Amino acid sequence: MKQILQDMGQGATYITEAPAPAVSREALLIHSTISLISAGTERMLVDFGRASYLEKARQQPEKVRMVLDKVRTDGLMTTIEAVQSKLAQPLPLGYSNVGIVAQVGAGVEGFKAGDRVVSNGPHADVVKVGKNLCARIPDGVDDESAAFVVVASIGLQGIRLAQPTLGEAFVVTGVGLIGLLTIQLLRAQGCRVLAIDFDESKLALARQFGAETCNPGKDEDPVAAGMAFSRGQGVDGVIITASTKSSDPVTQAARMSRKRGRIVLVGVTGLELNRADFYTKELSFQVSCSYGPGRYDPAYEEQGQDYPLGFVRWTEQRNFEAILDMLATGQLNVKPLITHRFAFEDAPAAYQQLTEDKSGLGILLAYTAASGDREVRSVPLRTGLQFDAARPVLGFIGAGNYASRILIPAFKAAGAQFHTIVTSGGISGVIHGGKSGFAEASTDMTAMLANTTINTAVIVTRHDTHARFVTQALSAGKHVFVEKPLAIHLEDLAEVRAAYEQAHRTGSGPQLMVGFNRRFAPQVQKMKAMLQAVKEPKSFLMTMNAGAIPASHWTQDATMGGGRIIGEACHFIDLMRFLAGSPIISIQARRMGDASGMEVAEDKASITLGFEDGSFGTIMYLANGAASFPKERVEVFSAGRVLQLENFRKLRGYGWLGFGKLNLWKQDKGQNACAEAFLRAVETGVPAISPEEIFEVARVTIDAAEQLRRQ
């Protein structure tokens, strides 16, 4: 398949070829026929990508503050690498797609192959979209008209929040694409509409749709125009669909509104408000979120859980359907909004037009590639590579942020041979696989595991898939490196262990390693060497200032991410096990407060471990600390001496003869050394981490999390 991407670092807009995604549960696979470039949103993204680093910083002051906080805690070089990596990740463009259903996933009802549908899929000739983000197109609506459905739904959601009634006077400020659609929708509600914009050609279209107009560029006063339009009473509502840094649209809206008028912000404006403008009139002001209830809710968009109609009448999908009904009856006319048509292959020219001609509105892309050309599941990234079968030949499963920014570079630095990178969507595999020297990108994990050239699998996917993928890879005879955690349930852990033992039933077998990189950090290796000379039991105190993550984040979901104890605190359980050098014999976990009194209680907890040699230690995993405080601290007390490691940059010793400190210019959590150790284990057959420790740490971590959940 082919897809449009925006380079957020250098500014280029381009088409790339990627393997087609596989259909998944609660989703549809769609072959695109038409997509609409959203002039406002996509122009803003393209302009941001083309801006200098200084201009990018000026546009996102809140991100600058986050960067400065990271510099203070993680160091300058680590922060620079993180920012550069973020900007180097291209962004898929587009969210207004029309196409033909090619496949439906398990759990999908109401759709079948061959249906014409609208969706919020990107500009790509194949898109995979959750079933609640699609709607069937009535026979009387052509594809070009249907391409406006998602954009129109943004305006419709703003209208639903404003709750207009028949005969009310409404103002639409900013009559770009969404504004002109909003005017028509308000007119269909029986409202009188005043349109405000600086572009006379767009105001001409607004008049064509039945609105009165005001052009501040011609010295026409918006507030005076609004008062005159409302016959001196003040308008009933204002919907702002403009995109500007100025706060004027909101200020003007407040001053032209009647008492208890309604203002809804659909676009993007400055928000430096004067309380007096709102106070005396008791105005309501609300920001509209995209195209309706369900937006940004993973349960709705990804897992297919719909909201009951009796309680949530208008969801994203139902708003799509409402717009399609209006198109079918002729109440909404989008034909005058089409200003340009391009073949999908000419998309870069379309975006050049978008940035050079600010009067452009409806820019359509047409897709004509044959179905067979779109459905290829693997694409070559580099030809002519030769692989040494005596050394590890890697197949990567997953190319998310951690894999692309940390793990792939770590394996590359260790001299790994990269063969295939597998991702669910295909695009991320092409982007990061191409940069890192992989031979091919794929969306077919089964084919990758069946490839006899590949002898090693690296699994960096969502936590709930780890155990299953590890089991499949071991059963295929592959060496396995899996990012933590190994499993999130004891039943899954038992299956992994059974697969591992089966693979080793005749003696030597594939290596299995979990990405517990912290034990390989240079300062931790120094601590281990020093502690080995201490024969007394040790006391450990490990503090992780983890920071808050919303309860809605997938890592907090016990079935998907396993929760943060299983997903992250396992690092410190392994680290303590490594430094103690003794089996864990007791586990006590305690979480903060009552779960009913906070959104998430599990990620504010202590875990105390007892060891066979008499050592003990406590892990404080806390999501309620300040971001400016060091994120990770490790302290070891034994035989009148202390070691303190802060953020994997500063190691200090107290009471040690001949050792005071070991500081690094750059944070090093051991990722490179971890990858190197695994590759060496594959070549030599000697595990980098003993299998018994791997399974012990996994079991202890799950036990600790279950203790917390029972409290």
- Give tens-digit pLDDT for 314-361: 999 999 999 999 999 999 999 999 999 999 999 988 888 888 877 788
Q: CA–CA separation, 30 vs 12, rounded Å?
A: 26
DSSP state of 404: I
436-to-50, 177, 337 alpha-carbon distances in Å: 24, 40, 43
Q: What percent of the chain has pLDDT over 70?
A: 93
**pLDDT the model gives residue 85:** 61
Query: Exposed/middle/buried for 370, CB within 10 Å: 0-12, 13-18, 19+?
Result: exposed
Query: What is the C-alpha to C-alpha distance for residues 624 and 546, in angstroms, rounded to an integer?
Result: 8
User: Any bridge partners for residue 542, and if so which?
Assistant: 619, 634
Q: Which CATH superfamily is domain 378-513 in?
A: NAD(P)-binding Rossmann-like Domain (3.40.50.720)
Q: What is the mean pLDDT of residues 492-508?
A: 93
How many residues would you count in the chain?
711
* pLDDT value for 492: 97
Q: Where in the sequence of the chain do the CATH 3.40.50.720 domains occur?
A: 151-287, 378-513
Phi/psi at 61 (5° precision)? -60, -30
| HSE (side-chain half, CA atoms, 13 Å) at 297 | 17
**Do the beta carbons of residue 304 and residue 26 sit within 8 Å?**
yes
Cβ-Cβ contacts under 8 Å for 641 (sequence gap 6 or more):
534, 653, 654, 655, 656
pLDDT at 370: 86
Residues carrying CATH 3.30.360.10, the chain: 517-710
Angstrom CA distances, 76 to 68, 305, 523, 582, 668, stand at 9, 43, 19, 37, 13
In the Cβ-directed half-sphere of 514, how many Cα atoms lie within 13 Å?
Answer: 28
Least confident of 57-66, 124-133, 156-165, 430-439: 57-66
Q: Is the dihedral of CA 389, 392, 396, 400 positive or negative?
A: negative
Place of tokens 């490594």: 578
Check whether 493 has a pLDDT greater than 70: yes
pLDDT of amino acid 60: 65
Where b means 16+ CB within 10 Å and e means fewer, 10-24 reads eeebebbbbbbbbbb
pLDDT at 425 over 80: yes
The per-residue pLDDT for 126 is 96
State the span(s) of the chain assigned CATH 3.90.180.10: 2-148+296-371
pTM, two decimal places: 0.86
Q: Give the tens place of pLDDT for each residue, 178-213.
A: 999 999 999 999 999 999 999 999 999 999 999 999
**Count of CB atoms situated within 10 Å of the CB of 640:** 10
Q: Number of C-alpha atoms within 13 angstroms, CB side, residue 64?
A: 9
As a whole number of Å, the end-to-end CA separation of the chain is 50
Give the tokens for residue 84. 């550069």
Compute the average pLDDT of residues 37-53: 74
Give residues with Cβ within 8 angstroms of 602, minimum separation 6.
Answer: 563, 564, 565, 591, 705, 708, 709
Q: Report the pLDDT value the prediction gives residue 352, as an integer from 0 to 100.
A: 86
Residue 9 pLDDT greater than 60, yes or no: yes
**Strand bridging mode 616-622 / 632-638:** unpaired
Distance of CA 531 to the CA centre of its chain: 41
Q: What is the CATH number of domain 517-710?
A: 3.30.360.10
- Residue-level pLDDT at 53: 61
What does the block give as tokens for 320? 């799509």
Residues 6+ apart with CB under 8 A from 98: 32, 33, 34, 35, 116, 117, 118, 119, 137, 143, 146, 147
**pLDDT tier for residue 372 given thresholds of 50, 70 and 90:** confident
pLDDT in tens, 266-275: 998 989 888 9
Calculate helix-pair angle for 570-580, 691-710, nearest 10 degrees.
Answer: 130
Sequence-ordered list of residues with C-beta below 8 angstroms from that of 51, at least 6 positions apart, any chain? 11, 59
Q: Which fold has domain 151-287?
A: Rossmann fold (3.40.50)
Helix, strand and coil percent figures for the chain, each rounded to 5: 40, 25, 35
Instruction: Please choose, from the candidates 126, 130, 219, 178, the residue with its C-alpha nearest in 3D space to the C-alpha of residue 362.
Output: 178
pLDDT at 595 over 60: no
User: Worst-scoring range by mean pLDDT, 69-78, 100-109, 433-442, 537-546?
Assistant: 69-78
Spatial separation of the C-alpha atoms in residues 595 and 203, rounded to whole Å? 55
Q: Residue 370 has which token pair?
A: 């044959």
Of 483, 357, 487, the C-alpha closest to 411 is 483
- pLDDT tens string 468-485: 999 999 999 999 999 999
- Report CA dihedral (77, 83, 85, 91) to the nearest 10 degrees: 180
**CA 81: distance to chain centroid?**
19
d(CA 414, CA 503): 26
Average pLDDT over residues 683-700: 97
Q: Would you place residue 69 in the very low, low, confident or very high pLDDT band (cuts 50, 70, 90)? A: low
Q: Which CATH number, 3.40.50.11440, 3.30.200.20, 3.90.180.10, 3.30.70.1230, labels domain 2-148+296-371?
A: 3.90.180.10
Average pLDDT over residues 639-667: 95
Please check the confidence at residue 498 and state whether its pLDDT lies above 80: yes
The most confident of the ranges 40-44, 371-375, 648-652 is 648-652
